[in-house]
Chain A
Amino acid sequence: MNKTAANTHSHVKEPLIRIVKRDGLKLSKLVLVYVGAILLAMIIGCILLASMGVNPFKFYEKMLTIGVVGNAFPYKCFEGYIKLFTPLLIVSVALSLAFRMKFWNVGGEGQFIVGALVAGWISAIIGESAPSFLVLILMSLGGAIAAGFYGSIASVLKVKFGTNETLMTLMLNYIALYLIMFFGETKADWNILLNEDSARPIFKTFFENAWMPVIKIGSFSLNISLIIAFVITALIFVYLKKTKQGYELSVVGDSISTANYAGMKTGRIIIRTVFISAFLIGLAGAFYVSTAHSLSTSVTNDVGWTGVIVAWLSKLNTLAIVVTSALISILRYGCTQAAAEFASVDSHFADLLQGIILFSVLACDFLTRFKVIINLKRRKSHE
């Protein structure tokens, strides 16, 4: 309608709704907008919870305290939280590397699975005989390198043939998922991943040498992978800020032609960065199975998708990723804790609540980047 109107009139008409890019909001305002979005989502959640006969305040109290209050084993809550937080942090940081180059790696799920699967395979071969540190190092490296190459399929094809990396990584997710399902459901002599004692196919528990070590602080076990995750985050922060390679990848992200003009080998930079991104995701996968002591077909726990949300909400800022992934893990872990408290609340409902909160935050994220201008005077001026 606007088009025809514009064509018939000689002067250009302003549309009814315009979306204009907004300049950087003040941080205080930004935080205010996010808090507002969360509050709004929680009010909607209140109505839904009340309609199910659940006291929303009690539910939110359990959710925000990740169930620690009144818990018989509070340290378990922190351990559970860390199990969720560690992979999310590493994956989000890794994804942000690729995203900075505007390489849309949505293949986190697949790369995570490949890392987990290869680590699991290595643990099944050498886990019984080799010393623990060697097993752990080989598992981590093997998983990470395999995932790195798996991720490189999309980047090499993009660089050589200009294929679409979003579609490519997305489809590679499904290949990896079906691969792990195949290993999980095929009982055969060659399949060393399965438990030999079970008539039904199930993944076996790793040998103890393949278990991620923990530091005991009283009853609480601090998983080493959390410390490694923070180290990786710090290294990536330095890599992006202080190294030549970090600089190169942000130039490629801003404009490939600029990078080309400056004499950078853009193809190589893309392939290298995506390799690092997928390498880290594979490492997270290896850490995860080593923490879990076993493989599973639902090993990713959607971390490849949640990581995209975290990276995006954090505007690819490494420090912001730490905070965002910590907060989103509180949301996710807290929701399960709260849902267990009330028999009528199942995990679908908990997912719905999380969805409402994330949606509302993402919607307001849009408002922090863009201004919506509604021009109501427009019609009058033409009559």
Chain B
Amino acid sequence: MKKLLSMLLALAMLLTCMVAFSACGDEAANNSGELTLENVKVGAIYITSQNDTAGYTFAHHNGITTAMEKLGIPAENLYIVDNVAEDDTAVSNAIDTLAGKGCNIIFGISFGYLNAMNDAAAKEEYANIAFSHATGYLANETNFNNYFGRIYQARYLAGIAAGLKSLELGNDALGYVAAYGTEYAETCSGINAFTMGALSVNPNAQVYVKTINAWADETMEKQAAESLINTYNVCVIAQHCDSAQPQLVAANAGVFGCGYNSDMTEQAPTSHITAPIWNWDVYYAEAIKAAVNAPASEFVNNIGIYYGGLKEGFVDISPINAAAASEGTEEIVSLVKDLIISGEWDVFSGVKLSYTQDADGNWTIVKTDADLVTNTGEVIVTAGGASVDDGVIKGSMNYYVAGVVAE
């Protein structure tokens, strides 16, 4: 009896599947109409949940929904698979799910998704889907690109603000709470850019780096900030980690700070100067448009490997907090921002910036050719040379520049 029942159940299941199988082929065929902003389907693979209220996934989800809203795409055209581990099977399952829903473009936001996305993009059956991957280095020539931002440009600006503060306070020690150090180009390019920004206004500045080996760990972020203040007597706490804990520690200790990801002046109203921030929607809107306007095979051709910076508005710094910033911060930062946007100069080049003020109080930038040197004395770019784009973008930067003191 029991066996019979089991078999019946199994048979019923199989039948349901068969019926569904035959029914769906027709529906899929109906989707072949022209792709527009009204019917484009957007897929997203998240490392945590879209219902988060802060952090990495939150920032991306916010970017995608904002972009969709701006483009007038109905909200229900967004399909999400969340909490996807950096595991090839999990990711390829997520891709299958989203492809099945009829998504025309699929975004993957976490580094470890790269292999599965690369494999999926190469599949013939997915040739009509555009794939776009954040923070990775893999791409193909048709329907798979990767994207990230020149956040180091924003960090350079934050470094200027921090350097001016250290000049004002007469304390050359700056602190930096970092998720990782030279293991990741993403973290060490940020540390380097911040340091070079600070050095451009205060040639004696020293940036003390404390790494916590985690992208988001509030307790360790707090402890690292405390230890930087107690050990090195730093006057500014900068950070490359998820939470506002380092800024809260700075506020409590009576020192200043530069946050990350969001305007942390909200958390530390009198001590937070400015934070490098991302405007993910800038890229997402571009990418979705690219997917709608041309077949997926043209996707990479149209949008390329995307590394937007200040120029595209993809990265920026939050409004400078007058209650915490030193005099001249606003002026110098906007000069340098304009210079970077103009494309004449970039951070990791053989040209150093400094600034002079004339009698009327107007600032001007002075460019000086000088080697880009690591803190162990190795020359990376000779004086006058062009910026090391590849090191940051393809992820090979693995050194600290002079002025960084890592524990």
Contact = CB atoms under 8 A, between A and B. Distances in A.
Nearest to B184: A200
Interface stretch (B89-97, B327-335, B364-372): B89-97
A288 to B, nearest CB: 8
Contacts of B125: 73, 219
B17 A72 contact: no
Given A202-B115, A296-B85, A65 B100 contact: no
Given A74-B25, A299-B87, A346-B50, A294 B115 contact: yes
Contact of A74 (B24, B87, B88): B24
Given A319-B2, A326-B10, A346-B83, A340 B112 contact: no
Contacts of A299: 87
Contact of A80 (B24, B83, B97, B185): B97
Given A297-B87, A340-B97, A65 B20 contact: yes
Q: Interface of chain B, helix or strand or loop or mixed?
A: helix
Q: Give the bracket for the number of chain B residues in contact with chain A.
A: 35 or more
B87 A292 contact: yes
Given A202-B115, A296-B85, A346-B83, A71 B101 contact: yes
A128 interface: no
A323 B93 CA distance: 23
Interface string A165-195: 0000000000000000000000100000001
B81 A340 contact: yes
Interface in B50-99: 50-51, 75-76, 78-83, 85-90, 93-94, 96-99
A343 B79 contact: yes
A73 B96 contact: yes
A356 B369 CA distance: 67
Contacts of A71: 24, 28, 100-101
Interface string A257-291: 00000000000000000000000000000001001
A131 B102 CA distance: 38
Given A27-B2, A71-B24, A83-B93, A346 B86 contact: no
Contacts of A202: 86, 111-112, 114-115
A319 to B, nearest CB: 5
A348 B49 contact: yes
A193 B125 CA distance: 30
Given A27-B5, A319-B3, A343-B80, A69 B24 contact: yes
A69 B20 contact: yes
B96 A76 contact: yes
B183 A200 contact: yes
B24 A70 contact: yes
A29 B231 CA distance: 71
Nearest to B397: A199
Contacts of A317: 2
Contact of B31 (A72, A199, A205, A292): A72
Interface string B113-135: 01100010000010000000000
Contacts of A326: 10, 13
Nearest to A70: B27
B227 to A, nearest CB: 24
A203 B24 CA distance: 36
B98 A74 contact: no
A51 B82 CA distance: 20
B398 A199 contact: yes
Contact of B13 (A75, A205, A320, A330): A330
Nearest to A292: B89
A298 interface: yes
B81 A336 contact: yes
Given A27-B5, A319-B3, A343-B75, A79 B112 contact: no
B293 interface: no
Contacts of A292: 87-89
Nearest to B57: A346
A68 interface: yes
Interface centre among A67, A195, A203, A340 (most CB of B within 10 A): A340
B385 interface: no
A233 interface: no
A199 B392 CA distance: 12
Contacts of B6: 319-320, 322-323
B99 A73 contact: yes
A74 B21 contact: yes
B23 interface: yes
Interface string A208-222: 000000000001000
A195 B137 CA distance: 13
A68 B17 contact: yes
B85 A298 contact: yes
A296 B89 contact: yes
Interface string B256-291: 000000000000000000000000000000000000
Contacts of A327: 9, 13
A14 interface: no
B223 to A, nearest CB: 21
A74 B1 contact: no
Contacts of A319: 2-3, 6
Interface in A306-354: 317, 319-320, 322-323, 326-327, 330, 336-337, 339-341, 343-344, 346-348
Nearest to B115: A205
A124 interface: no
Contacts of B112: 200, 202
Interface of B: 1-3, 5-6, 9-10, 13, 16-17, 20-21, 23-25, 27-28, 31, 49-51, 75-76, 78-83, 85-90, 93-94, 96-102, 111-112, 114-115, 119, 125, 137, 183-185, 395-396, 398
Given A70-B28, A74-B28, A293-B88, 17 more contacts: A27-B5, A69-B20, A71-B24, A71-B100, A195-B115, A199-B183, A199-B398, A200-B184, A202-B112, A297-B87, A299-B87, A322-B6, A323-B6, A327-B13, A340-B80, A344-B50, A347-B83
28 contacts: A68-B21, A69-B20, A71-B24, A72-B31, A199-B185, A199-B395, A202-B111, A205-B115, A292-B87, A292-B88, A292-B89, A297-B87, A298-B85, A320-B2, A320-B6, A323-B6, A326-B13, A327-B9, A327-B13, A330-B13, A340-B94, A340-B97, A343-B80, A344-B51, A346-B83, A347-B83, A348-B49, A348-B51
The 4 closest A-B CB pairs, nearest first, are A296-B87, A292-B89, A298-B85, A68-B20
